[in-house]
Amino acid sequence: MIVPTRRLLLAAPALLLLPRQADATPEAMAEAVRGFTGGAPVTPGRVALDISPLVENGNTVPLSVIVESPMTEEDHVRAIAVFNERNPQPHVITAQLGPRAGRALLSTHIRLATSQTLLAVAALSDGSFWSDRAQVVVTLAACIEG
Amino acid sequence: MARVLINVPRSAKRGDIITIRTLIQHTMETGYRPNAQGEVVPRDIIRRFTCSYDGAVIFSAELSPAIAANPFLSFTTVATRSGTVTMTWEGDNGFAQTETRPIEVT
């Protein structure tokens, strides 16, 4: 993080005049989910999206997704994707895995611009899609300062 | 070369599920942040991560600006046989880095 300089302070009124960037919306998220599923129905269940419900710093938020699956050649998770509603872009991460993973598990650290709902979708080898939602309250947002 | 932290067990029993954890030093500049002059800093992120082991890609991921700086990824795989785990990060401005770690399977 950069300590505010005099130049930054002078630039502050100009920043206020900048057009506000278009944020992702629930509709944009639904569109991104359709891009991932190809329009197939998504059923809630089998997926566990693990994230702290109250986040103090949106710049780095630990997140894990675990999918209930035997992870065999016949029945495994092909991909896991995470989406958000109110960051500038609805997509967070897409991971491809297979039976060799042993467990359908993904952990990473993400950024959150504001309090919002996150959605994790898992694509299974039989062509079905499962999901889980999580509500997150963010105290200090990412992306807003220089 | 960016600094990396990689956690792959040195040895494992055949058939065990092992956890691989990786972290690479990278700003993951979102492309939405203004600098001191009020101009938007161009995007500079790692877009793709691939991990292969025992002759095949076992895990890959597409990252977006919503991934925090110094991207951390953790996933699992089944220990099949002794060999090398290869991890590759690719991103904007021609960023590419490959790291390997040996694993001994008994």
pLDDT digits (tens, 9 = 90+) for A95-132: 999 999 999 999 999 999 999 999 999 999 999 999 99
ipTM: 0.92
Domain-embedded: residue A12: no
Domain-embedded: residue A39: yes
In this structure, which CATH number among 3.40.50.80, 3.40.47.10, 2.60.40.10, 2.160.20.10 belongs to the domain B4-30+41-105? 2.60.40.10
**Would you list the domain boundaries of chain B?**
4-30+41-105
Q: How far apart are CA B22 and CA A104, in angstroms?
A: 17
Which residue among A89, A96, A98 sits closest to B66, beta carbon to beta carbon?
A: A89
User: Which structural domain, as residue segments, surrounds residue A57?
Assistant: 22-140
Q: How far is CA B99 from CA B5, B6, B78, B86, B105, in A?
A: 10, 9, 20, 6, 19
Count of structural domains, chain A: 1
| pLDDT of residue A18 exceeding 60 | no
- Output the DSSP codes for B8-50: --SEE-TT-EEEEEEEE----B-S--B-TTSPBPPPB-EEEEE
The CATH number for A105's domain is: 2.60.40.2470
pLDDT tens-place string over residues A84-97:
999 999 999 999 99
Residues of B in contact with A92 (CB under 8 A): 64, 66-67
Q: How far apart are CA B60 and CA A93, in angstroms?
A: 10
Domain-embedded: residue A146: no
Q: Please name the residue ranges forming H helices in chain A.
A: 6-17, 26-37
Domain-embedded: residue A11: no
Domain-embedded: residue A16: no
Q: How far is CA B42 from CA A114, A126, B34, in A?
A: 22, 40, 9
Mean pLDDT of chain A: 85
pLDDT band at A26 (very low <50, low <70, confident <90, very high): confident
pLDDT tens-place string over residues B43-92:
999 999 999 998 899 999 999 999 999 999 999 999 999 999 999 999 99
Tell which of A97, A112, A119, A121 to mutate to test the B interface (max B CBs under 10 Å). A97
Higher pLDDT, B85 or A15: B85
